[in-house]
Amino acid sequence: AQSVSQHNHHVILSEAASLELGCNYSYGGTVNLFWYVQYPGQHLQLLLKYFSGDPLVKGIKGFEAEFIKSKFSFNLRKPSVQWSDTAEYFCAVKDNDYKLSFGAGTTVTVRA
Amino acid sequence: ETGVTQTPRHLVMGMTNKKSLKCEQHLGHNAMYWYKQSAKKPLELMFVYSLEERVENNSVPSRFSPECPNSSHLFLHLHTLQPEDSALYLCASSQDSGRTDTQYFGPGTRLTVL
- Chain B CB contacts of A24 under 8 Å are none
Which pLDDT score is estimated for B40?
77
B66-104: b (≥16 Cβ within 10 Å) or e? bebeebbebbbebeebeeebbbbbbbbbbeebebebebb
Q: What is the mean pLDDT of each run of 10 residues along chain B (114 residues)?
A: 89 92 96 91 90 81 94 95 95 87 93 94
Q: What one-letter code names the amino acid at B105?
A: F
Residue A51 forms contact with B (CB below 8 Å)? yes
- Chain A CB contacts of B60 under 8 Å are none
Which pLDDT score is estimated for B50?
87
Nearest CA in chain B to A107: B40
**Residues 6+ positions from B54 with CB-CB distance below 8 Å:** B47, B48, B66, B68
Which pLDDT score is estimated for A57?
97
Q: Do B105 and A36 touch (CB under 8 A)?
A: yes
* Per-residue pLDDT tens over the stretch A4-54: 999 889 999 999 999 999 999 997 778 899 999 999 988 899 999 999 999
Which pLDDT score is estimated for B77?
97
Which pLDDT score is estimated for B107?
94
Which pLDDT score is estimated for A99?
82
- Alpha-carbon gap, residue B67 to A28, rounded angstroms: 34
Give chain B's length: 114
Which pLDDT score is estimated for B99?
74
Please name the member of B45, B99, B102 whose beta carbon is closest to the beta carbon of A95.
Answer: B99
Please name the member of B41, B50, B105 whose beta carbon is closest to the beta carbon of A43.
Answer: B105
- Chain A CB contacts of B55 under 8 Å are 98
What is the share, in percent, of chain A residues with pLDDT greater than 90? 79
Which pLDDT score is estimated for B30?
93
Which pLDDT score is estimated for B66?
95
User: A53 to each of A56, A69, B30, B104, how far by Cα in Å?
Assistant: 9, 12, 27, 23
Q: Do A98 and B40 touch (CB under 8 A)?
A: no
Q: Do A98 and B102 touch (CB under 8 A)?
A: no
* Per-residue pLDDT tens over the stretch A71-93: 999 999 999 999 999 999 999 99
